[in-house]
Amino acid sequence: MATREFAAHDAHVHAAPTSWIRKYVFSLDHKVIGIQYFFLALTAVFVGMFLSLLMRIHLIWPAAALPLLGEIKPETYLTLLTMHGTIMVFFVLTTAPQGGFGNYFLPIQIGAPDMAFPVLNMLSFWVTALAFVVMLSAFFVVGGAPLHGWTGYPPLSALPAAGPGEALGADLWVISIALFCLGALMSALNFITTTLDMRAKGMTLMRMPLTCWAWFITAILGLLAFGVLLSAGILLLLDRNAGTSFFVPLVTINGQLTGHRGGSPLLWQHLFWFFGHPEVYIAILPAMGLCSQLLSVFSRKPIFGYKAMVYAMLSIGFLGFMVWGHHMFMSGMSPYTAFAFSVMTMAIGVPSAIKTFNWLGTIWKGRIRFTSPMLFALGFVSLFISGGISGPFLAQPVLDIQLHDTYFVVGHFHLIMGVASIFGIFAATYYWFPKMFGRMMNEGMARWHFFITLIGTYAIFMPMHYLGMAAHLRRYSQLTELKYLHGLVPLQEFMTYAAFVTIAGQFLFLFNLFWSMKFGEKATDNPWEATTLEWTTATPPPHDNFGGHIPVVYNGPYEYSVPGAPRDFIMQTDPAILKAH
Amino acid sequence: MSEATLPHEMPSVYEPSLFGTYSKKIGMWLFLMSDSLTFGALLYAYSYGRISTPNWPTPFHSESIVNATIMTAFLLTSSLTMVLAVRASTEGNAKAQRLWLLATMACGMGFVLLHGREWSKLIAEGLTLPVFPKPPGGETASEFVNVSKTVPQFAATFFGLTGMHMLHVTLGVVYLGIVALRRYFIPILLVFWLAAWLGTPAYSPFHYGAHVLLLAAIVCSIILWLKPKVYDSSDVEVAGLYWHFVDLVWMFIFPLVYLMSAKIL
Ligand code: HEM
Ligand SMILES: [Cu+2]
């Protein structure tokens, strides 16, 4: 090795900006960037929710003429579900937990003044924001937004002539995804380096809060998965615009040869799901970490099996890269391959179950405080179980032949990926809002919001499993015209009404958020009596997080109800730990 | 904007880094990990196409192979000069460091020039993608015309893979240029852009490829504006990591794309 010596760490600190634009717009401060990501996701989630409402309306009243929008045509329905899925998966579930809360709290929880690469951090936000603008612009171009689903399967996605919205709209979709990949890669790299390099003295890896572990592992998944999606996106763009045929075999549209030949749609499926499966864990891992944190804080008990939690997350991340084939059982893969993917997939159930039992073990005999973040954390566990239990069914190739491409899958992933990680986001908002904005959120509204959302989402997504078993196909708009599904129309109507109520409940959240920013009760520095570092600093934290020094850490993150201690929690920075052995 | 830098004794406020090195280097390693998956996916697409296509053509003449061998030599040399640049930087020899960096860039540019010329030649002979503008003079009745017609995957994977690699080399040259000359490199970059754009006919790959340089100039200006810093030996080392990686990728592409499709096979 070279003989020169490096200071083990670069200078990560930057001076507080003075101009308005550098402070709030092009800020290098991870806290501002975190809030920017949060509001990006908040915008996105309301756009995505609006699209889903239109879908639900169309499903039960296909001929209804809506104000301004008119009648929703079948192809418009496909557009709606494509944009709904894409916006929700990328710009909400990937953006809010990691980019938003991860950005804000990872550095603080490990005791760092900022991310390892503040400039990169800012760029990753703005690239993501640009990606969102490009995605939305697809609605406004000739032909409208694409209709190939969030999974973008070719040949549909690769042929501009394949349908309305597949021309310029689909190009914008691919470009937006590629930009999103770049942003996600930059951010992943930053998260990993920060976790490796910028932990305060005493913050060993095994003293990190599980939230930090979750963000760290999520970042590793992102680093490895988004690079592959980027490649797939580039190839798709080439197919669409350069006349290549990576994904397109010899196909005709309306009897006309397309000029493509020799490609394979399966290649896209492999590349996409190699990204896609890790992506579902990118969406859920931060929520898992947060939930572990909250269950411990609000049960006033140490987390049950800290190490098991860490290893479970690591093995989920590792196995997550080996199961992508379970999305392709119907693609004609060899039964032996399907068997291998099936076994691997069910193996993921093991660490998932370990986590679930540890959560239950954590609240077992705890002195539970039913605050709003805790309610959402408990809701998360419930949804994770209900949504996860259908996974092992889908993982059977034989069953999947019936269930693939039906509402059963839609029910599965909405409960577990959609709603469970949204519950994680809500829990995080209620939990950290006091630290971020200096005031408490209104608890009464939060409770209403919780019960409406929990009951509402179950009412929407549970029936989907029955629809799926009755062979109701997903991504199909004219269900009222299918004889064999007539008996299920009342159920569909029920789901739509439930959607109305649930969506109305979300405006309560929105109102609470902005109302509490102005009128909420002033928050103390540690309103939840939690132990981690963000609660040791001022509210909201100063520019360098700890006001000119880097904290020193003495304890693990879950020292609750330690016998003999003066209070029922011991801060991580508390030097005098009194542990009765 | 001024940077408040921590004095070098300060690092003791943190836990020791897991890999005992500085953040930028870890960041670069992580980037290379994800980039190798990006290239891995492209190579996977290539092998997928190649295996699933009966009678994959092997049309490269010795001329192409010789050309690619010279390109390889350029890259290998550039790795050597890069090592020398890193050594000069650790010895604090700023002049030698700059010279070796410029030498590395020269090798990289030599690679890109030879490669672009090869592209033009292949396109003129008929190995082409529908999107490329037709060179004047019509197609010769070469084997390549036939290949493009019957196995479109051949041209697609060839241009896709080598194009992505060429992009990496070009951006690598820009990167080294910024490390060596900082903002003074931006005008040079713009001159290169204009020269390549205006100095070549519309059907040349350099003509439309040149805009990468413009884009790079814009991005670099933004980054330099955000972070106007003096680059030190650690930046040279990190840039070296990137450069060696791009060389390494070529060591996969050369045999897989060229040698395995040579005429003799
Ligand atoms: C042990 C746990 C799990 C198992 C065994 C499992 C299994 C499966 C299988 C086999 C499919 C493919 C169904 C088909 O398309 O026919 C599937 C789809 C899906 N799963 Fe899971 N899953 C599990 C957990 C999760 C988690 C934790 C998430 C997200 C956080 C998730 C999100 C999804 C999504 C988004 C899809 C559908 C993608 C699409 O086709 O649009 N799953 N799951
Ligand atoms: Cu999956």
Domain with B238, as residue range(s), is 35-47+58-181+234-261
Q: Check if A83 has its Cβ closer than 6 Å to any atom of ligand 1.
A: no
- The pLDDT, as a whole number, for residue A2 is 33
pLDDT exceeds cutoff 80 at B196: yes
A435 and A543 in a single domain? The answer is no
- The pLDDT, as a whole number, for residue A414 is 96
- The pLDDT, as a whole number, for residue B235 is 93
Protein residue whose Cα sits closest to atom 30 of ligand 1: A417
Of A560 and A3, the structure prediction assigns the larger pLDDT to A560
Of A501, A519, A537, which one is at a domain's C-terminal end?
A519
Structure tokens at A444: 């009464």
pLDDT exceeds cutoff 80 at B241: yes
Instruction: Give the mean pLDDT of A574-578.
Output: 70
Q: Give the contacts of A192 (CB within 8 A, at least 6 positions apart).
A: A216, A219, A220, A223, B26, B30
A99 and A151 in a single domain? The answer is yes
The partner residue sitting opposite A6, judged by closest CB among B18, B21, B31, is: B21
Of A519, A540, A564, which one is at a domain's C-terminal end?
A519
Is the bond preceding A209 in cis, omega lying within 30 degrees of 0?
Answer: no
Does residue B95 sit at the A interface (CB-CB below 8 Å)? no
A413 and A555 in a single domain? The answer is no
Looking at the CA of A273, name the nearest ligand: 2
- Comparing CA positions, the residue from A375, A374, A376, A383 lying closest to residue A356 is A383
Of A214 and B262, the structure prediction assigns the larger pLDDT to A214
What does the pLDDT look like over A116-128, one tens digit per residue? 999 999 999 999 9
Counted domains in chain A: 3
Are A464 and A498 in contact by the 8 Å Cβ rule? The answer is no
Q: Check if A171 has its Cβ closer than 6 Å to any atom of ligand 1.
A: no
Range scoring the smallest mean pLDDT among A5-19, A170-184, A268-282, B188-202? A5-19
Range scoring the smallest mean pLDDT among A108-112, A256-260, A300-304, A353-357? A256-260
Examine residue B191 and state whether it is found in any structural domain, yes or no: no
Q: Check if A416 has its Cβ closer than 6 Å to any atom of ligand 1.
A: yes
Q: Check if A88 has its Cβ closer than 6 Å to any atom of ligand 1.
A: no
A212 and A325 in a single domain? The answer is no
CA angle A499/A164/A330 to nearest 5° reads 70
Q: Please count the other Cβ atoms lying within 10 Å of the Cβ belonging to residue A253.
A: 12
pLDDT bin (cut points 50, 70, 90) of residue B214 is very high
- The pLDDT, as a whole number, for residue B139 is 61
Residue of B nearest to A234 (CA): B160
Q: What's the number of CA atoms in the CB half-sphere (13 Å) around residue A289?
A: 29
Interface of B with A in 44-83 (CB under 8 A): 44-45, 48-49, 52-53
For residue A391, the CA-to-ligand 1 centroid distance in Å is 6
Residue with tokens 């005791």: A111
Examine residue A3 and state whether it is found in any structural domain, yes or no: no
- Comparing CA positions, the residue from A318, A320, A427, A308 lying closest to residue A360 is A308
Nearest-angstrom CA–CA distance, B84 and A69: 65
A217 and A269 in a single domain? The answer is no
- The pLDDT, as a whole number, for residue A581 is 40
pLDDT exceeds cutoff 50 at B44: yes
Nearest-angstrom CA–CA distance, A215 and A406: 32
Instruction: Give the mean pLDDT of A60-76.
Output: 85
A8/B14 CB distance under 8 A: yes
Q: Select the highest-mean-pLDDT range: A52-66, A250-264, B94-108.
A: B94-108
A458 and A553 in a single domain? The answer is no
Nearest-angstrom CA–CA distance, A242 and A568: 65
Strand partners, A473: A406
Mutate which of A82, A148, A217, A280 for ligand 1 pocket (most atoms within 8 A of beta carbon): A280
B13/A259 CB distance under 8 A: no
Residue with tokens 């479970």: A312
pLDDT bin (cut points 50, 70, 90) of residue A68 is confident
CA angle B219/A145/A186 to nearest 5° reads 30
Instruction: Give the mean pLDDT of B6-11.
Output: 42
Are A477 and A74 in contact by the 8 Å Cβ rule? The answer is yes
pLDDT exceeds cutoff 50 at A11: no
Protein residue whose Cα sits closest to atom 4 of ligand 1: A391
Cα dihedral B89→B91→B97→B101 (10° resolution): -50
Q: How many contacts does A have with B, using Cβ atoms within 8 A?
A: 180
A196/B226 CB distance under 8 A: no
Structure tokens at B35: 């980039």
The partner residue sitting opposite B19, judged by closest CB among A196, A224, A550, is: A196
Q: Check if A283 has its Cβ closer than 6 Å to any atom of ligand 1.
A: yes
Nearest ligand 1 atom to the CA of A345 is 5
CATH label of the domain that carries residue B136: 1.20.120.80
- The pLDDT, as a whole number, for residue B41 is 96
- The pLDDT, as a whole number, for residue A3 is 29
Q: Check if A384 has its Cβ closer than 6 Å to any atom of ligand 1.
A: no
Residue with tokens 């021309």: A167
Does residue A337 sit at the B interface (CB-CB below 8 Å)? no
Range scoring the smallest mean pLDDT among A50-54, B1-5, B206-210? B1-5
pLDDT exceeds cutoff 60 at B9: no
Of A519, A552, A572, which one is at a domain's C-terminal end?
A519
Nearest-angstrom CA–CA distance, A207 and A273: 34
A205 and A312 in a single domain? The answer is no
For residue A335, the CA-to-ligand 1 centroid distance in Å is 19
CA angle A563/A568/A569 to nearest 5° reads 105
A143 and A276 in a single domain? The answer is no
CATH label of the domain that carries residue A464: 1.20.210.10
Examine residue B200 and state whether it is found in any structural domain, yes or no: no
pLDDT exceeds cutoff 80 at B137: no
Instruction: Give the mean pLDDT of A345-372.
Output: 95
% of chain A exceeding 70 in pLDDT? 97
Q: Check if A344 has its Cβ closer than 6 Å to any atom of ligand 1.
A: no
Mutate which of A273, A394, A401, A465 for ligand 1 pocket (most atoms within 8 A of beta carbon): A394
Strand partners, A569: A560
Examine residue B226 and state whether it is found in any structural domain, yes or no: no
For residue A262, the CA-to-ligand 2 centroid distance in Å is 28
Q: Report the SS3 class of residue B249.
A: helix
Domain with A269, as residue range(s), is 264-519
* Secondary element (H or E) of residue A256: strand A256-257
Protein residue whose Cα sits closest to atom 23 of ligand 1: A391
Does residue B15 sit at the A interface (CB-CB below 8 Å)? yes
Are B230 and B21 in contact by the 8 Å Cβ rule? The answer is no
Average pLDDT, chain A: 92
Q: Check if A428 has its Cβ closer than 6 Å to any atom of ligand 1.
A: no
- The pLDDT, as a whole number, for residue A12 is 52
A198 and A307 in a single domain? The answer is no
Nearest-angstrom CA–CA distance, A106 and A320: 23
A351 and A488 in a single domain? The answer is yes
Instruction: Give the mean pLDDT of A507-536.
Output: 95
pLDDT bin (cut points 50, 70, 90) of residue B4 is very low
pLDDT bin (cut points 50, 70, 90) of residue A106 is very high
What does the pLDDT look like over B67-86, one tens digit per residue? 999 999 999 999 999 999 99
Q: Tell me, what DSSP letter sits at residue A66? A: E
- The pLDDT, as a whole number, for residue A13 is 58
B160/A11 CB distance under 8 A: no
Q: Say if residue B216 is exposed, middle or buried (CB neighbours under 10 Å; 0-12, 13-18, 19+).
A: buried
Best mutation target among B25, B36, B37, B50 (most A Cβ atoms within 10 Å) is B37
Q: What's the number of CA atoms in the CB half-sphere (13 Å) around residue A493?
A: 7
d(CA B131, nearest CA chain A) in Å: 5
Best mutation target among A29, A124, A216, A231 (most B Cβ atoms within 10 Å) is A231
What does the pLDDT look like over A148-188, one tens digit per residue? 999 999 999 999 998 889 999 999 999 999 999 999 999 99
The partner residue sitting opposite B35, judged by closest CB among A28, A204, A227, is: A227
Does residue B233 sit at the A interface (CB-CB below 8 Å)? yes
Strand partners, A70: A66
Average pLDDT, chain B: 89
Of A399 and A478, the structure prediction assigns the larger pLDDT to A399
Counted domains in chain B: 1
Position A96: which residue type?
Answer: A
Residue with tokens 């408490």: A440
Looking at the CA of A388, name the nearest ligand: 1
- The pLDDT, as a whole number, for residue A577 is 61
pLDDT bin (cut points 50, 70, 90) of residue A8 is very low
Structure tokens at B101: 């960096």
Q: Give the contacts of B149 (CB within 8 A, at least 6 positions apart).
A: none
Contacts of A230 in chain B (CB under 8 A): 38
Best mutation target among A1, A9, A230, A573 (most B Cβ atoms within 10 Å) is A9
Contacts of B130 in chain A (CB under 8 A): 242-243, 259
Range scoring the smallest mean pLDDT among A69-78, A106-115, A511-520? A69-78
- The pLDDT, as a whole number, for residue A134 is 98
- The pLDDT, as a whole number, for residue B132 is 87
What does the pLDDT look like over A263-310, one tens digit per residue? 999 999 999 999 999 999 999 999 999 999 999 999 999 999 999 999
The partner residue sitting opposite A262, judged by closest CB among B22, B152, B226, is: B152
